[in-house]
Amino acid sequence: MTERMFRIILGAGLVVLLYISALTNNNELIKIYIGILLFEGITNWRIPKIVSKLRKLPVIPSQPELDTLHPIHARYRINFEAERAIRLMLAVVLMLPFIFPFEILWIIPWFAASMLLLAGMSNICPMGLLFHWLGFK
């Protein structure tokens, strides 16, 4: 499973969970989703890598090697993978409506879900590009 396909699954799953949460006023599934993202971000045990190892397939890299595309990024300044940072940032963004009681914050998780779907379909993740630009691995 590639990171691209996993982003599509993450985005579609988040849309479904948000819809169920809006219908039932139960946010427990969203909290479990955030917990999975935090687990992946902290431990770097990503579901696509685990699935590839279980199926005994080679792990497909998520992004093209930046050293060949941008010589200015030949050395990474931050020894932390951008994919981990994306998952941690997504978990933080999804926690915002739970932390702050403002009514308008309902749009943030929906925006994150739509961006995940678009990143999966186009294989261009703005957050990933930002983290790579900042110097993440």
- Note the pLDDT tens digit of each residue in 82-91: 888 888 999 9
CA–CA separation, 73 vs 66, rounded Å? 7
**Low-confidence residues of the chain: pLDDT under 70:** 1, 57-76
| Those residues with Cβ within 8 angstroms of residue 45's Cβ, 6 or more apart along the chain or in another chain | 39
CA atoms within 13 A on the CB side of 31: 6
pLDDT score for 137: 82
Its pTM stands at 0.76
Cβ neighbours around 133 below 10 Å, total: 13
Q: Are 33 and 94 in contact (CB under 8 A)?
A: yes
- Chain position carrying tokens 């309902």: 106
Amino acid (one-letter) located at 128: G
CA–CA separation, 72 vs 115, rounded Å? 27
pLDDT score for 92: 92
CA–CA separation, 47 vs 49, rounded Å? 5
pLDDT score for 4: 84
pLDDT score for 45: 83
Dihedral angle, C-alpha 19, 93, 60, 81, nearest 10 °:
-170
